[in-house]
């Protein structure tokens, strides 16, 4: 029997896949549990349209993320921190401070959870690079400078 999976099923397939299974497995388990529907011509058309729309939305989101990535790559931000004479700062610079500086200085809003600093934290005055994951396949590098206030 040919069915269309509504959810991912281990060792069988992923959502929106059309698979062939035994009649009993489909009628007694997959369909009653809501994991699948019969692969009729109508259901196949519906699934094809849903996949097409999802692909269009994903392409649009990726294009927006790439635009943001280009604007981030062109920007360098400065972050002020209290520092000792030898250049070590009190505390550290983290992703939250980078996100705030990016919003203030370049008017680009990025979630702090998407910012990854090379190494764990910044504890000295100098120039550094952080990576920002903007989407599934889109990331950008931002240069930032930590200076003593």
Structure tokens at 100: 């705030």
Say if residues 124 and 92 touch (Cβ distance below 8 Å): no
Q: Are residues 82 and 121 in the same domain?
A: yes
pLDDT at 135: 80
Q: Are residues 55 and 77 in the same domain?
A: no
Structure tokens at 46: 């519906």
Q: Are residues 54 and 90 in the same domain?
A: no
Mean pLDDT value of segment 28-46: 95
What does the chain come to in residues? 149
Say if residues 125 and 147 touch (Cβ distance below 8 Å): yes
Q: Are residues 43 and 102 in the same domain?
A: no
Identify the CATH number of the domain in which residue 113 sits: 3.10.430.100
DSSP letter string over 15-41?
Answer: TT-EEE--HHHIIIIIHHHTSEEE--H
When pLDDT is cut at 50, 70 and 90, the band that residue 149 belongs to is confident
Q: Are residues 36 and 103 in the same domain?
A: no
Q: Are residues 44 and 112 in the same domain?
A: no
When pLDDT is cut at 50, 70 and 90, the band that residue 87 belongs to is confident
pLDDT at 137: 82
Residues 6+ apart with CB under 8 A from 28: none
Cα 108 to the center of its chain, rounded Å = 17
pLDDT at 40: 95
Mean pLDDT value of segment 36-43: 95
Domain count, the chain: 2
Identify the CATH number of the domain in which residue 33 sits: 3.40.5.10
Q: Are residues 10 and 36 in the same domain?
A: yes
* Nearest residue to 113 (alpha-carbon basis) of 98, 92, 91: 98
pLDDT single digits (tens) 89-137: 988 888 999 999 999 998 999 998 989 988 767 888 989 999 998 887 8
Q: Are residues 59 and 79 in the same domain?
A: no
When pLDDT is cut at 50, 70 and 90, the band that residue 47 belongs to is very high
Question: Of 35, 64, 93, which marks where a domain is finished?
Answer: 64
pTM assigned to the model: 0.65
Q: Are residues 21 and 58 in the same domain?
A: yes
Say if residues 99 and 132 touch (Cβ distance below 8 Å): no
Domain assignment of residue 20, given as a range = 2-64
Q: How many CB atoms lie within 10 A of CB 146?
A: 24
Q: Are residues 87 and 55 in the same domain?
A: no
List the Cα angle 81/82/88 in 5-degree steps: 95
């Amino acid at each position: 029997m040919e069915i269309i999976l509504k959810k991912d099923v281990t060792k069988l397939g992923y959502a929106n896949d059309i698979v062939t299974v035994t009649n009993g497995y489909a009628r007694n388990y997959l369909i009653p549990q809501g994991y699948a529907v019969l692969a009729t011509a109508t259901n196949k058309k519906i699934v094809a349209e849903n996949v097409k729309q999802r692909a269009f939305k994903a392409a649009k989101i990726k294009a927006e993320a790439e635009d943001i990535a280009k604007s981030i790559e062109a920007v360098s931000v400065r972050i002020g921190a209290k520092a000792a004479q030898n250049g070590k700062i009190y505390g550290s610079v983290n992703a939250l401070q980078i996100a705030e500086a990016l919003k203030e200085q370049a008017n680009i809003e990025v979630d702090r959870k998407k910012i990854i600093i090379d190494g764990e934290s910044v504890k000295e005055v100098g120039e550094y690079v952080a990576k920002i994951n903007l989407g599934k396949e889109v990331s950008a590098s931002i240069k930032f400078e930590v200076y003593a206030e």
